[in-house]
Structure 1
């Protein structure tokens, strides 16, 4: 479904930091279809179809160009105020592309006064988007004496940031933050992005774009509306990384959407880990494939997220440590199902994943961890054991034994 990016996962991990705990949603890569003009509806007569195409294109140009007069010219009677409000809500955004293309509508009956059009909104933001983000929209057109005009435009899936209210934009060295709250909070988030990018680059090398786009809605309900999910679907989850809907599969994910309620409960360290963790998913998306095991993709994100924090293994993996002390020692690397949101033992799964990746980095070198991640993606489905032998010199079974022994050290 074309939208501004499907959440790359609904999995969650516990971030246990100095003065707070919250969950964050962690992604895996999903293919995204290339950007393309949506075909106009074939069930409408050519004359009406062409009129709709021109009307939506004119509306898009007016919004992108901030042309109030042109936007008013495409608006139905009574819609002028809402369109002026739209220009206010998008005033802080710098669009390099903004399109509205009809995807489907039914031929209006003779004398019909209204026409409902499904459309695709594509937009790119200056300095961050190489490809357009895509959203599903629904437009109500009304017949006026001088032709069809736009009476209303609403999201039919995930909302655009400006659907939620007037968007503020704060630039950092390595990121752009969009939000509806206080500028001080947005600036603090931009500062965390600026700190996160060099940490990620130190592990993964230069990545493009090394400029993060973060969104901070004002409330959890706005977060849910932005994501087109029930309000409680991401309760307690601090952030979600999205993939741009119009980008090729090799293009990095491009949006981190922060859940304000959960994020505000985190300590300063917790927020730092969350942003760096999500930035890692952005940087590694090109190498993350459907067959990449979640213990590896989530583990490297936590490994990178905790770089330079000075936290010990027991502080990073407290739930796993409790299990080990109680005699519940893991015997296998966590399966993908263990990372499902709401699964029993999900905290332990993420901690086990971190421990595995930390062990690889300490025993074989951080460069081998990075090489393993990329090789797993290159070797295809079922290639994990071969990739581990190629990069680490040991297979899955032998590594698992070492990992279990490492977990046992948490007993003391």
Structure 2
């Protein structure tokens, strides 16, 4: 016989409440969050005065807690401030100044945020490997107006020039005896520290008197790299690394660092990445940045050092320029500065063409002659005179010999 027991009135009421509660929960869906957008807070009428004071307080902060408090009350502002303060500490930054210049008076996005231009100055030091000199740049701060009439810093990007490295993300400094790697947000994956040491050793092998410390900045994203070097992404998207001065340093040799482009560098195999790093270390250790010397000499010599003991076949090391020769596009002149434009077509072939000049010279001359030629040109000697001094060649004779060398080399790899 079937069980005909009935539920008591209390149990029935309880079940009804459970069902109603579940229905209400499903209707409200609290786990999905509110579908209503946050209320947009208007920019205060006295924004410029408020921002002048806020960035003065950031400049005067003598502790992390003071810096965090001056950055604003939002969670994003406090995260930004803690990260920036930690980066300052890692880089030994001192004499930090943030001066409001303009902007921030009108919301320029639908979310109500605004942007202000701020002059940032600072001195590096400590274990960073960066030259202890005044650095000045303009940064663009993204700000959120708050209900209490203040601003909260959301983020910061490069303005005029490059972004100060301590504003670029989470910074870690890895120091060895003669090398320093500064990683931003973890940097590029791979053994960058050991590769940097090998790069420096390779330069010293060819140039025993080159004794400078090698500093590498390893950002995590290409956007960070572009901000750090003060360039648009489209201008650096073919470049694996660049040797340059950072954020307004005065251009002395001690202020030069190598900055990696993770979007390109991380895609390279171990050999190619090492060649790039040694190439850039040659620029850094020979003070080639900012020189008015012939570009093909500067770039060709850097590859001469980077490929000095390389045993890869020419089809790999010079495949692009030799393919041009095979297609009856043998260059009629030495590579020009325009050929090395970062966004230009055939950039790889230009570098290979310059290296092949040095490879040809190395078949009949020793390292000392090639180094003497390079240093002569770097020191301001005219190309014709430097070629004559080191090799007894004129520019015309070098060009003719090199063109024949390219044709002969192409025939051996076809």
TM-score, normalised relative to structure 1: 0.70
Alpha-carbon distance change, 289 to 231 in structure 1, aligned in 2, over 3 angstroms: closer
Supply the RMSD in Å over aligned alpha carbons: 3.7
Q: Which residue of 1 aligns with 2:195?
A: 192
Contact 1:252/1:282 (<8 A) preserved: no
Q: How many residues align?
A: 345
Contact 1:361/1:367 (<8 A) preserved: no
C-alpha deviation, 1:282, in angstroms: 1.1
State the secondary structure of the residue aligned to 1:170.
strand
- Deviations along 1:362-409, whole A, 9 cap, x unmatched? 3222222222222223336xx211222222222211222222222122
Q: Name the CA distance, whole Å, in 2 between partners of 1:351 and 1:270.
A: 13
State the secondary structure of the residue aligned to 1:295.
helix
Stretch moving more, 224-233 or 277-286: 224-233
State the secondary structure of the residue aligned to 1:394.
coil
- Deviations along 1:198-220, whole A, 9 cap, x unmatched? 11122233445323232222x33
C-alpha deviation, 1:262, in angstroms: 1.5
Contact 2:236/2:343 (<8 A) preserved: no
C-alpha deviation, 1:356, in angstroms: 0.8
Q: Which residue of 1 aligns with 2:291?
A: 289
Of 71, 92, 96, which aligns to 1:95? 92
Q: Which residue of 2 aligns with 1:235?
A: 237
- Deviations along 1:45-95, whole A, 9 cap, x unmatched? xxx9xx96x985763464xx6x1243256556x268724642335425131
Q: Which residue of 1 aligns with 2:138?
A: 136
In the alignment, structure 1 residue 120 sits paired with structure 2 residue 124 = no
Of 267, 279, 282, which aligns to 1:280? 282
Q: Which residue of 2 aligns with 1:36?
A: none
Structure 1: gaps spanning 5 or more residues: 1-47, 109-113, 143-147
Q: Which residue of 1 aligns with 2:363?
A: 362
Alpha-carbon distance change, 329 to 88 in structure 1, aligned in 2, over 3 angstroms: closer
- Deviations along 1:329-377, whole A, 9 cap, x unmatched? 3332112222223433332221110011222333222222222222223
State the secondary structure of the residue aligned to 1:91.
helix
Alpha-carbon distance change, 203 to 176 in structure 1, aligned in 2, over 3 angstroms: same
Q: Name the CA distance, whole Å, in 2 between partners of 1:348 and 1:81.
A: 46
Alpha-carbon distance change, 164 to 140 in structure 1, aligned in 2, over 3 angstroms: closer
C-alpha deviation, 1:270, in angstroms: 0.9
Q: Name the CA distance, whole Å, in 2 between partners of 1:136 and 1:392.
A: 47
Contact 1:216/1:259 (<8 A) preserved: yes
C-alpha deviation, 1:151, in angstroms: 5.2
Alpha-carbon distance change, 368 to 250 in structure 1, aligned in 2, over 3 angstroms: farther
Alpha-carbon distance change, 230 to 335 in structure 1, aligned in 2, over 3 angstroms: closer
How does 1:9-408 map onto structure 2 within 5 Å? 59-60=58-59, 62=61, 67-72=63-68, 74=70, 78=73, 82-83=77-78, 85-91=80-86, 93-100=90-97, 102=99, 104=101, 118-127=118-127, 128-130=129-131, 131-138=133-140, 152=153, 154-157=156-159, 158-180=162-184, 182=186, 185=189, 188-207=191-210, 209-217=212-220, 219-252=221-254, 254-286=256-288, 289-290=291-292, 292-379=293-380, 383-408=382-407
Contact 1:55/1:74 (<8 A) preserved: yes
Contact 1:256/1:278 (<8 A) preserved: yes
Q: Name the CA distance, whole Å, in 2 between partners of 1:232 and 1:84.
A: 30
Question: Looking at CA atoms only, which structure, 1 or 2, has the larger radius of gyration?
Answer: 2
- Deviations along 1:249-287, whole A, 9 cap, x unmatched? 442552222221222211111111111111111122357
Q: Name the CA distance, whole Å, in 1 between partners of 2:256 and 2:230.
A: 18
Contact 2:300/2:355 (<8 A) preserved: yes
Structure with the higher helix share, 1 or 2: 2
TM-score, normalised relative to structure 2: 0.70
Q: Give the number of the structure with larger relative contact order, counting CA–CA contacts within 8 Å between residues 6 or more apart.
A: 1
State the secondary structure of the residue aligned to 1:240.
strand
Alpha-carbon distance change, 253 to 360 in structure 1, aligned in 2, over 3 angstroms: farther
Structure 2: gaps spanning 5 or more residues: 1-48, 106-113
- Deviations along 1:201-253, whole A, 9 cap, x unmatched? 22233445323232222x33333344454444333432222224554444255
Alpha-carbon distance change, 398 to 81 in structure 1, aligned in 2, over 3 angstroms: closer
Q: Name the CA distance, whole Å, in 1 between partners of 2:187 and 2:119.
A: 33
C-alpha deviation, 1:305, in angstroms: 1.4
